[in-house]
Amino acid sequence: MADVKDYVADIKKYTASVDEKAVAGMAKTYALVMSRNDSRLVAASDPEEIQRVVDAFCKKKLGRKEGNDVLTAAVKAQCEKMKADRSKSRLTVYYLIAEHFKSLAMFHPK
């Protein structure tokens, strides 16, 4: 498992300020996902992967009620920020989506 500092450093490439408490909470929540080679990266060019992020993260985890088109656009916009990085860390993508929807506080450790 990567250190929280590594996740923070990656996220800093794409956003001005990083909520380190949220990153720590996300790292804990997604530790299993991030430990697996087949799930720690997001394949941004794969429509099925984008839909998986919409369904599992946006709708299920964040509880977003917007339509698929709005959520898909939000996911794609965050992936577009990362277009220079061929290997898109799932945790970074999730962080950027949560930041977009102003939902980072839900990941703060309790």
- pTM of the predicted model as reported, rounded to 2 decimal places: 0.95
* Number of domains within the chain: 1
Mean pLDDT, residues 85-98 taken together: 95
Mean pLDDT, residues 73-94 taken together: 95
pLDDT digits (tens, 9 = 90+) for 5-31: 999 999 999 998 999 999 999 999 999
Looking up residue 57, the CATH number of its domain turns out to be 1.10.238.120
**Domain of 83, in residue numbers:** 4-107
pLDDT digits (tens, 9 = 90+) for 49-62: 999 999 999 999 99
Separation CA 21–CA 4 (nearest Å) = 10
**Phi, psi of 82, rounded to the nearest 5 degrees:** -100, 15
Predicted pLDDT at 86: 87
